[in-house]
């Protein structure tokens, strides 16, 4: 409720109280009332001494001194005055009351004033306050939130996993603390710093830590806060924001998601937007125009630098681009250490093992992992978060939540076991393929089963052999179904596997130049720029003969991988049956059990498994000397329930972890 409404309610309460007091303490001196007939009779009997006529009201005094009052009828009585005078009654006339000029003006203008008051009230309500805080006269006021140096507690110690980005911005802190150090040598600090990186990598946190280290005011605003339905409002807000910043200089202005207002002007499908373009023009002028903005550093963040206007990216505006990438294995370990400080940990927690198993995770993903681990520990009524809970949280994020309540027939479970065993065996046999981390037939997310592979280290590119090995392993599930159920028994569970294998084969031929027949030529060009404000060239035109050759070469790659995978499964049919049997028994098997199966031994039971025949649970000592199943999970193949898109790791050019 705003001040106007509060004042109105207060005056109404005061008026009600005063009216009640006056009514209670007023003296009851009203004269005796009588009807008009009695009044006339008393006049004729000479019982009335004097009367006062006020319109229809007649009041007076009797000869005995008592007071009276009566109301004459609306009908005229021409004999009344004669009767009064003939009976020696003193007659007094009262002048009619007339309203003052101001009163009449007030009454006449009251409806207009009421309408204006209602209009102002609703305008204040919509704008959220008075004239100085989003009131009806402040459409053009900046919506930037100001945080003083005392309110910002974030420092570089709270930011991990982006050491290079921190080094890039450390000199900003030095400049804000001691600008003469740079000015002495004629150097100027960058006016604008553009932070670029995937979502969740800590761009906003890094910008806030700069203000926390430098101990300067920090203005924070989103790019969408500038744009309104009224043309010119955004430009006015930009001007007001920089005017406020000049008063607080040296300071930092942080614009999050600047692509909402900084897209290329007048390019792309549907033309430009006048309001957004005027806002961008004003931002360009404020950052590098006639007036200098000394001591003001603009920091912006976006994950779409390809759509920004070239005028915004030139030197003098955003002089420096700071890339905040997904963290590597060492960065993930540091980020986990930051977030694990906030939860009570058991002694068995090893952040390095978790970091190795989470390639492609951003800082936000790792924070979510720690939080999920804490929730798992709380459900188990534990006081400490252990490694088991963090591993469960990692599997849930990467593969989806377990759906143990899902009812599957034994036939469906057996088919899923063979499907996942086909993926795993080919992944174990093919050269340069990532090691297998875990195989499960427990439904997770929207997949009926999952096979997860573990790269031995962070990977940024793939060889031709690695791609061929991936395509072969993708066809392993379908081939296992075909070998066990026959050609007519193959299910639709491999639909996503086929889609991904086809994409890999097509990219090998048309994008990556890995086909001898087609040569090192790029046949597919990026067609997205014409929709993102970039160059408007479409895809490269190809002749019908070229398209036919591309299709034949893709089919050749697919057929070669399919036959190679078939031979591998045929040579390892006994291992396929043994692995499917182990999955039906244990539901989930890890790298140690897979190694036992591939070496012709019976797989040892997993840790903590109760043998129905009466055996005791098997501990960690049974796994001595085996490969550690905790490594960096890279790719997940599953017997799909439908055609859902896989989860992708941005650092992997081929897609990374994919759940099915």
Gap between the Cα atoms of 142 and 226, Å rounded: 8
String of DSSP letters for 290-341: SS--TTEEEEEEES-GGGB-HHHHSTTTS-EEEE-----HHHHHHHHHHHHT
Gap between the Cα atoms of 550 and 186, Å rounded: 58
Gap between the Cα atoms of 259 and 237, Å rounded: 17
Dmax (CA) for the chain in angstroms is 142
Distance of CA 478 to the CA centre of its chain: 38
Identify whether the C-beta of residue 630 lies closer than 8 Å to the C-beta of residue 356. Answer: yes
Element of type H or E holding 111: helix 101-127
Gap between the Cα atoms of 236 and 140, Å rounded: 5
String of DSSP letters for 42-90: HHHTT-EEEEEEETTEEEEEETTS-EEEEE--SS--TTHHHHHHHTT-E
Gap between the Cα atoms of 157 and 209, Å rounded: 9
Helix 233-248 and helix 274-287, axial crossing angle in degrees, nearest 10: 20
Q: Is 408 left (phi over 0), alpha (psi -120 to 50) or beta?
A: beta
Gap between the Cα atoms of 265 and 313, Å rounded: 13
Gap between the Cα atoms of 11 and 383, Å rounded: 58
Please state whether beta strands 67-71 and 57-62 pair in parallel, antiparallel, or not at all (unpaired).
antiparallel
Identify whether the C-beta of residue 84 lies closer than 8 Å to the C-beta of residue 39. Answer: no
Distance of CA 467 to the CA centre of its chain: 35
Element of type H or E holding 364: helix 363-379
- Give Rg (Cα) of the chain: 42
Element of type H or E holding 33: strand 32-33
Cα separations in angstroms, 21 against 24, 26, 394, 606: 5, 8, 73, 87
Q: Which residue has the tokens 């005078």?
A: 85
Please state whether beta strands 192-196 and 296-302 pair in parallel, antiparallel, or not at all (unpaired).
parallel
Identify whether the C-beta of residue 360 lies closer than 8 Å to the C-beta of residue 460. Answer: no
Strand partners, 68: 32, 60
Beta-strand ranges (E) seen in 441-544 are 450-453
634 as an active site residue: the answer is no
Identify whether the C-beta of residue 189 lies closer than 8 Å to the C-beta of residue 297. Answer: yes
Gap between the Cα atoms of 332 and 352, Å rounded: 8
Question: In the numeric block, which tokens belong to residue 98?
Answer: 């007339």
Question: In the numeric block, which tokens belong to residue 154?
Answer: 């974030």
Identify whether the C-beta of residue 322 lies closer than 8 Å to the C-beta of residue 204. Answer: no
Q: How many helices and strands in the chain, by DSSP H and E? A: 22, 15
Catalytic residue, chosen from 213, 389, 420, 553, is: 420
Phi and psi at 284, nearest 5°, equal -65, -45
Burial letters 501-510, b for 16+ CB under 10 A, else e: bbebbbbbbb
Identify whether the C-beta of residue 440 lies closer than 8 Å to the C-beta of residue 587. Answer: yes
Residues labelled as active-site residues: 420
């Amino acid at each position: 409720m705003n001040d106007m409404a509060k004042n109105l309610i207060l005056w109404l309460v005061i008026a009600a109280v005063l009216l009640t007091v006056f009514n209670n303490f007023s003296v009851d001196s009203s004269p005796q009332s009588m009807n008009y007939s009695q009044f006339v009779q008393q006049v004729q009997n000479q019982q009335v001494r004097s009367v006062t006529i006020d319109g229809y009201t007649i009041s007076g005094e009797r000869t005995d001194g008592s007071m009276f009052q009566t109301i004459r009828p609306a009908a005229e009585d021409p004999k009344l005055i004669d009767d009064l005078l003939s009976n020696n009654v003193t007659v007094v006339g009262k002048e009619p009351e007339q309203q003052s000029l101001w009163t009449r003006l007030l009454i006449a203008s009251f409806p207009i004033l009421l309408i204006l008051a209602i209009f102002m009230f609703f305008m204040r309500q919509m704008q959220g306050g008075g004239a100085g805080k989003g009131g009806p006269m402040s459409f053009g006021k900046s919506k930037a939130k100001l945080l003083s140096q005392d309110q910002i507690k974030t420092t570089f110690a709270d930011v991990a996993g982006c050491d290079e980005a921190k080094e890039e911005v450390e000199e900003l802190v030095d400049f804000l603390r001691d600008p003469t150090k740079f000015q002495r040598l004629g150097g100027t600090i960058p006016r604008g710093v553009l932070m670029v990186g995937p979502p969740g990598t800590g761009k906003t946190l890094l910008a806030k830590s700069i203000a926390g280290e430098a101990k300067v005011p920090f203005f924070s605003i989103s790019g969408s806060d500038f744009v309104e339905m009224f043309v010119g409002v955004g430009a006015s807000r930009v001007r007001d924001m920089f005017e406020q910043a000049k008063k607080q200089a040296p300071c930092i202005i942080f614009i999050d998601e600047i692509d909402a207002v900084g897209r290329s002007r007048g390019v792309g499908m549907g033309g430009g937007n006048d309001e957004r373009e005027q806002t961008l023009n004003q931002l360009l002028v404020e950052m590098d125009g006639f007036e200098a903005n000394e001591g003001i550093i603009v920091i912006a963040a976006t994950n779409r630098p390809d759509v920004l206007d070239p005028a915004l990216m030139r030197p003098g505006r955003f002089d420096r681009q700071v890339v905040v990438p997904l963290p590597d294995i060492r960065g993930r370990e540091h980020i986990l250490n930051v977030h694990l400080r906030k939860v009570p940990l058991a002694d068995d927690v090893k952040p390095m093992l978790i970091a190795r198993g989470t390639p492609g995770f951003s800082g936000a993903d790792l924070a979510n992992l720690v939080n999920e681990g804490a929730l798992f520990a709380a459900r188990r009524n534990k006081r400490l978060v252990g490694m088991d809970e963090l591993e469960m949280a990692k599997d849930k994020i990467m593969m989806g939540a377990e759906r143990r309540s899902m009812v599957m027939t034994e036939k469906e479970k057996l088919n899923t076991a063979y499907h996942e065993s086909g993926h795993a065996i080919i992944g174990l046999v093919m050269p340069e393929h990532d090691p297998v981390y875990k195989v499960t037939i427990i439904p997770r997310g929207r997949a009926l089963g999952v096979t997860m592979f573990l790269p031995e280290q962070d990977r940024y590119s793939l060889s031709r052999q690695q791609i061929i090995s991936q395509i072969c392993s993708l066809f392993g599930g379908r081939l296992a179904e075909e070998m066990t159920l026959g050609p007519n028994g193959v299910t639709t569970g491999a639909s996503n596997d086929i889609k991904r294998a086809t994409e890999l084969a097509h990219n090998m031929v048309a994008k990556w130049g890995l086909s001898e027949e087609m040569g090192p030529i790029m046949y597919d060009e990026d067609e997205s720029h014409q929709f993102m404000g970039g160059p408007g060239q479409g895809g490269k035109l190809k002749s019908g003969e070229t398209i036919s050759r591309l299709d034949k070469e893709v089919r050749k790659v697919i057929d070669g991988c399919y036959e190679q995978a078939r031979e591998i499964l045929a040579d390892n049919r006994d291992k396929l049956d043994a692995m499917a049997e182990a999955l039906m028994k244990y539901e989930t098997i890890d790298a140690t059990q897979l190694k036992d199966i591939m070496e012709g031994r019976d797989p040892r039971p997993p840790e903590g498994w109760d043998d129905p025949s009466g055996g005791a649970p098997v501990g960690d000592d049974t796994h001595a000397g085996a490969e550690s199943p905790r490594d960096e999970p890279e790719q997940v193949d599953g017997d799909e329930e439908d055609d859902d898109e896989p989860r992708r790791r941005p650092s992997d050019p081929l897609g990374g972890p994919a759940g099915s």
